[in-house]
Amino acid sequence: MNAIILSIGDELVLGQTVDTNSAWLSQKLAAIGCGVVAHVTVADDQSAIERAICQAARQCDLLLISGGLGPTADDLTRQALAAVMNEPLELNEQWLGELEKFFAARNRPMPEANRIQAMIPRTATMTFNTAGTAAGIEAALDPKKIGSGAIFPSPHAPPASGGEKIAPDPIFSCRVFVMPGVPREMKIMFERSVLPALREKSGGAVIFSRTLHTFGLGESAIAEMLGDLMRRDRNPSVGTTVSGGIVSLRINARFGSVAEASEQLEQTVASSREALGALIFGQEDESLQVVIGRMLKAAPGSTVATAESCTGGLLGKMITDVPGSSAYYSYGWITYANQAKQELLGVQRVLLDQCGAVSEPVALAMANGARDRARSTFALAISGIAGPDGGTPDKPVGTVCIALAHPGDAHARTFLFPGDREFIRERSAKMALTMLRYHLLGQKAPF
Amino acid sequence: MNAIILSIGDELVLGQTVDTNSAWLSQKLAAIGCGVVAHVTVADDQSAIERAICQAARQCDLLLISGGLGPTADDLTRQALAAVMNEPLELNEQWLGELEKFFAARNRPMPEANRIQAMIPRTATMTFNTAGTAAGIEAALDPKKIGSGAIFPSPHAPPASGGEKIAPDPIFSCRVFVMPGVPREMKIMFERSVLPALREKSGGAVIFSRTLHTFGLGESAIAEMLGDLMRRDRNPSVGTTVSGGIVSLRINARFGSVAEASEQLEQTVASSREALGALIFGQEDESLQVVIGRMLKAAPGSTVATAESCTGGLLGKMITDVPGSSAYYSYGWITYANQAKQELLGVQRVLLDQCGAVSEPVALAMANGARDRARSTFALAISGIAGPDGGTPDKPVGTVCIALAHPGDAHARTFLFPGDREFIRERSAKMALTMLRYHLLGQKAPF
């Protein structure tokens, strides 16, 4: 089964609303082994909807449509579907009864405009909406019944009268479900009516997925380490994506049974973990700060303090993103000026003068000063040049020194991060957390 | 000009990532009067990408593509575009040079895989990427040059050898821009290279736009104050959007001439400013922290310090988002634990015991303690319950006390913010900046 998800709405193509329905539906379809060929979004424009339905029907056997079922003049999905099916819209008495009950319960007369919400193409089936006034529609697009009227010439083409007649791709049987665009109504209708109908038909194939996150190396370095695991024709497949410097692996296993998909997924997850080792810090929705928090909690009494210059509080903010972080985090200093580094953390003036604020000795002094004052197990310090100004030939924008003070010692490293101010600061804070993570693992970072 | 926005990525059609690029691009295109016909999303599958490009090219004269430009085997957008254009991919020496410089600056050899990121179709133009390693591509799809090889039969159709030959819709000239899928890189490339190129070509009617930002009141309160300015049929039109607690007004003036659009826009901007007064803190890409920074710089020698509990460094991070913030910001304390509030800021133990950490007296003591220690003009302090735990009937989750210490005095206010931990922390930091802003304006906040 191959699906296309079609979303209808002016607010979507105008960018005023982000379409979250399509991603949600895709996940639900993946879980029953139904591949998704494409997401398509068009405006509340009947000919655009008709064209989109026709194009989709040539490329999939399941078409899920959401939106355009409201009672107002700009809701045109049912009219477009009827036109493609070459059928009239007919009143569904059962849903009209539901609508009348709905308004009667609210002591209001049913506005005439709502009557359209009970109209569906002649051979279609009405789908109950338990959360709103728009009935859903289930229909079959049958190539033998679809007239040429439904095939739209290119908008660039001359008018049909004088122009060439374009032969359409053949449309094969495609099953269509139309749902409301309001996410809540759509989700309830999908779970209640559409999913059970699809489960009946899906010939058993199952997709199981896992996402693993890494930080520290770039996408191509990770790909090199994964080698054959990323082969395009591999099943389970392994792909990578990057967001905020975090390179994530998405592993998808498509198999005929739950048992096989699950076992194969776990095998590929294990192979990926073997290839990347400690580079993988977490999976699914785990962030670096959540993982660090769990590690610190696992060693009761372990605490961390922060001393920040160029990140200006971002590292503390990230650590405290995690509910319950007060168990291991109490003290942080933002020492944006040299004088603050001296006064609050005891950094020696001579160090600042001789090495500069962005130097490993100063970062080490900041970390040690913070650890002493907070009486914490660990302290992280960051001093760098986030730009856009302040770079020199020796220390260009992106130069960041990060230090970790820990029981018995401290160490520091210098990084050169690419990108703009925001990106450099984000990378700096994540790298500080990563240095603590490798220390807690008792391992040396491979970068 | 009619556009289609095509997004490429397995993670998108699988529903693992919500596509936000398309909505962002749509808004940008709307602002220059370019209509969007459709959003389309397909997987990292070369033939699917080729088909999508061909279909789109029949329906629009501008195709914006994002995604699939990475260095790994599953990044296939450039290959698909080259196939549709019937052209080979050729190495762009200029971008190869940039890549080599990028890796040389990091003392790493360029992985062989990254070489593909400098390849573009023969007649295409390379677009600079200032934020990553993937060059963008600008190309023209010319119907005379596009071979039939690029036209894909329906997946349901019999194989080409034995089957019917389907005549394609004619493809007229369509301009294509390919950008990276990473939202940050895409946005920078669009603003820097694509938008200026599009502005040159959009002729005729002129749309002038302005965005004004407010913080402190909800969308419906702002709408009430704007009254008739928000009438649907008004030109210039005034609409509101909300993001991160900031209610923004988007004003669009569509007129036949630059002079008229500009004059009408300025008149509506003036009316909006009159209706909302000091609630409007900035316009376009101005953030609260940028505006505060400008105000502090305007009174030379003015400085601000921060003392944060529940926001854990977010306020300091926001203030230092602004390049040059070292002119007015040097000292910040993250006192996440009561003991830290006592030790670092001199908050009296008795205050903490009697009033609780989340109280106006404690927030005032934090602000005064920070101002004294930093010898700053102003100090902002935040203490609150960001949740999800820690709420009580008296002080539910979302209760936040914010204090401002200033020459001669200090004042504090208690807020109850809705939403989750992240939202409460974000609102708290923005409200602290807003309290400072009203103080600097010498005005009382209307909320």
| Residue among A59, A324, A373 whose CB faces B154 most closely | A59
Q: Where are the alpha helices (DSSP H) in B106-205?
A: 183-189, 195-201
Chain B neighbors of A250, CB-CB under 8 A: 10-11, 14, 16
d(C-alpha B82, C-alpha B102), whole Å:
26
pLDDT of residue A35: 87
* The token pair that represents B109 in the structure block: 């050899």
What separation in angstroms does the CA of A394 have from each of A131, A424, B97? Answer: 64, 17, 22
| Residue among B9, B131, B336 whose CB faces A420 most closely | B131
pLDDT of residue A203: 58
Contact across the interface for A312 and B320, Cβ inside 8 Å: yes
Contact across the interface for B38 and A48, Cβ inside 8 Å: yes
Contact across the interface for B312 and A319, Cβ inside 8 Å: yes
Q: Could you tell me if the ipTM is greater than 0.90? A: no
Q: How many CB atoms lie within 10 A of CB A112?
A: 8
- Cα of A179 to nearest chain B Cα, Å: 18
- Strand pairing partners for B11? none
Does the pLDDT value for residue A160 go beyond 80? no
Spatial strand order in the sheet of A280-283: A237-243, A246-255, A206-215, A280-283
Chain A neighbors of B152, CB-CB under 8 A: none
Contact across the interface for B15 and A37, Cβ inside 8 Å: no
pLDDT of residue A446: 87
Q: What is the pLDDT along chain B (447 residues), one digit of tens a residue?
A: 899 999 999 999 999 899 999 999 998 898 787 889 999 999 999 999 999 999 899 889 999 999 999 999 999 999 999 999 999 999 999 999 999 998 998 888 899 899 999 999 999 999 999 888 999 999 999 765 554 433 333 333 333 333 333 344 444 589 999 999 999 999 999 999 999 888 776 555 677 889 999 999 988 889 889 999 988 789 998 888 778 889 999 888 888 788 898 999 999 999 999 999 999 999 988 999 999 999 999 999 999 999 999 999 999 999 999 999 999 999 999 999 999 999 999 999 999 999 999 999 999 999 999 999 999 999 999 999 999 999 999 999 999 999 999 999 999 999 999 888 999 999 999 999 999 999 999 999 988
CB B7 within 8 A of CB B22: yes
pLDDT of residue A157: 36
Contact across the interface for A220 and B339, Cβ inside 8 Å: no
List all residues 6 or more positions away from A33 whose beta carbon is below 8 Å from its beta carbon: A1, A202, A203, A204, A205, A206, A207, A254
- Strand pairing partners for B136? B127
Mutate to test the interface with A, among B6, B34, B39, B342 (most CBs of A within 10 A): B39
Chain A neighbors of B314, CB-CB under 8 A: 313, 317
Closest CA to B304 of B384, B405, B203: B405
Contact across the interface for A337 and B330, Cβ inside 8 Å: yes
Element (H, E) at B48: helix B46-57
pLDDT of residue B202: 58
- Cα of A355 to nearest chain B Cα, Å: 20
Chain A neighbors of B106, CB-CB under 8 A: 416, 418
Closest CA to B288 of B430, B117, B98, B190: B430
- Chain A residue whose CA is closest to B12: A23
What separation in angstroms does the CA of B210 have from each of B236, B260, B262, B392? Answer: 10, 15, 10, 43
Domains of chain A: 2-201 (3.40.980.10), 206-283 (3.30.70.2860), 288-441 (3.90.950.20)
pLDDT of residue B142: 74
The arithmetic mean of pLDDT across residues A180-204, rounded, is 85
Chain A neighbors of B27, CB-CB under 8 A: 14-16
Contact across the interface for A331 and B329, Cβ inside 8 Å: no
**CA diameter of chain B:** 90
Pairing assessment for the beta strands B174-179 and B62-66 based on DSSP bridges: parallel
CB B69 within 8 A of CB B180: yes
Q: What is the DSSP string of B230-278?
A: G-TT-SSEEEEEEETTEEEEEEEEEESSHHHHHHHHHHHHHHHHHHHGG
| Residue among A172, A209, A314 whose CB faces B156 most closely | A172
- Chain A residue whose CA is closest to B325: A336
Chain B neighbors of A40, CB-CB under 8 A: 38-41
Q: How confident is the model at residue A168 (pLDDT cuts 50, 70, 90)?
A: very low
Element (H, E) at A411: strand A409-416
Does the pLDDT value for residue A64 go beyond 50? yes
Chain B neighbors of A39, CB-CB under 8 A: 12-13, 19, 39-41
Chain B neighbors of A157, CB-CB under 8 A: 169-170
Phi, psi angle pair for B168, to nearest 5°: -80, 160
The arithmetic mean of pLDDT across residues A153-161, rounded, is 36
pLDDT of residue A121: 96
- Chain B residue whose CA is closest to A250: B11
What's the CA angle centered on B333, arms B332 and B338, to 5 degrees? 160
| Residue among A24, A170, A240 whose CB faces B156 most closely | A170
Q: How many CB atoms lie within 10 A of CB B196?
A: 10
Contact across the interface for A334 and B314, Cβ inside 8 Å: no
Q: How many CB atoms lie within 10 A of CB B200?
A: 8
Mutate to test the interface with B, among A20, A39, A430 (most CBs of B within 10 A): A39
pLDDT of residue A243: 85
Q: How many CB atoms lie within 10 A of CB B293?
A: 23
d(C-alpha B191, C-alpha B200), whole Å:
14
Contact across the interface for A153 and B167, Cβ inside 8 Å: no
Kindly state the DSSP code that residue A111 receives in the 8-state scheme.
Answer: P
What is the share, in percent, of chain A residues with pLDDT greater than 90? 71
pLDDT of residue A52: 94
pLDDT, chain A, mean: 90
| Residue among B58, B313, B337 whose CB faces A334 most closely | B313
What separation in angstroms does the CA of A79 have from each of A64, A304, B183, B257? Answer: 16, 62, 36, 38
d(C-alpha B325, C-alpha B292), whole Å:
10
What separation in angstroms does the CA of A35 have from each of A12, A53, A253, B77? Answer: 23, 18, 12, 20
What is the share, in percent, of chain A residues with pLDDT greater than 70? 92
Contact across the interface for A325 and B335, Cβ inside 8 Å: no
The span from the first CA to the last CA of chain A, in angstroms, equals 44
Does the pLDDT value for residue A169 go beyond 80? no
Distance of CA A62 to the CA centre of its chain: 24
The string over B24-53, giving b where at least 16 C-beta atoms fall within 10 Å of a residue's C-beta and e elsewhere, is bbbbbbbbebbebbbbbbbbbbeebbbbbb
Residue B284, classified by CB atoms within 10 Å of its CB into exposed (0-12), middle (13-18) or buried (19+), is exposed
Q: How many CB atoms lie within 10 A of CB B152?
A: 20
Instruction: Dihedral sign for Cα B130, B131, B132, B136, please.
Output: negative
The residue type found at B255 is F
Does the pLDDT value for residue A10 go beyond 90? no
The radius of gyration of chain B from alpha carbons, rounded to an integer in Å, stands at 27
Contact across the interface for A39 and B12, Cβ inside 8 Å: yes
Q: How many CB atoms lie within 10 A of CB A188?
A: 18
Contact across the interface for A326 and B337, Cβ inside 8 Å: yes
- Cα of B24 to nearest chain A Cα, Å: 6
| Residue among A17, A166, A313 whose CB faces B169 most closely | A166
The string over A398-422, giving b where at least 16 C-beta atoms fall within 10 Å of a residue's C-beta and e elsewhere, is bbbbbbbbbeeebebeebbbbbbbe
CB A86 within 8 A of CB A152: no
CB A334 within 8 A of CB A355: no
Q: How many CB pairs under 8 A join A and B?
A: 308
d(C-alpha A320, C-alpha A314), whole Å:
10
Q: How confident is the model at residue A130 (pLDDT cuts 50, 70, 90)?
A: confident
Pairing assessment for the beta strands B237-243 and B246-255 based on DSSP bridges: antiparallel
- Cα of B61 to nearest chain A Cα, Å: 10
List all residues 6 or more positions away from A389 whose beta carbon is below 8 Å from its beta carbon: A397, B323, B324
Q: Name residue, tokens 């602002």.
A: B31
pLDDT of residue A252: 86
- Chain A residue whose CA is closest to B240: A16
Between A200 and B393, residue with greater pLDDT: B393
List all residues 6 or more positions away from A128 whose beta carbon is below 8 Å from its beta carbon: A98, A135, A136, A189, A192, A193
Contact across the interface for B422 and A316, Cβ inside 8 Å: no
Q: What is the pLDDT of residues A363-400, one digit of tens each?
A: 999 999 999 999 999 999 999 999 999 999 999 999 99
- Chain B residue whose CA is closest to A47: B37
Contact across the interface for B331 and A323, Cβ inside 8 Å: no
The residue type found at B295 is M
Q: Where are the alpha helices (DSSP H) in B114-257?
A: 183-189, 195-201, 219-226
pLDDT of residue B145: 59
- Strand pairing partners for A212? A249, A283
Mutate to test the interface with B, among A2, A40, A152, A156 (most CBs of B within 10 A): A156
pLDDT of residue B205: 64
d(C-alpha A36, C-alpha A66), whole Å:
15
- Chain A residue whose CA is closest to B131: A419
Chain A neighbors of B172, CB-CB under 8 A: 154, 156
Does the pLDDT value for residue A307 go beyond 90? yes
CB B32 within 8 A of CB B199: yes
d(C-alpha A220, C-alpha B384), whole Å:
43
Does the pLDDT value for residue A147 go beyond 70? no
d(C-alpha A252, C-alpha B43), whole Å:
13
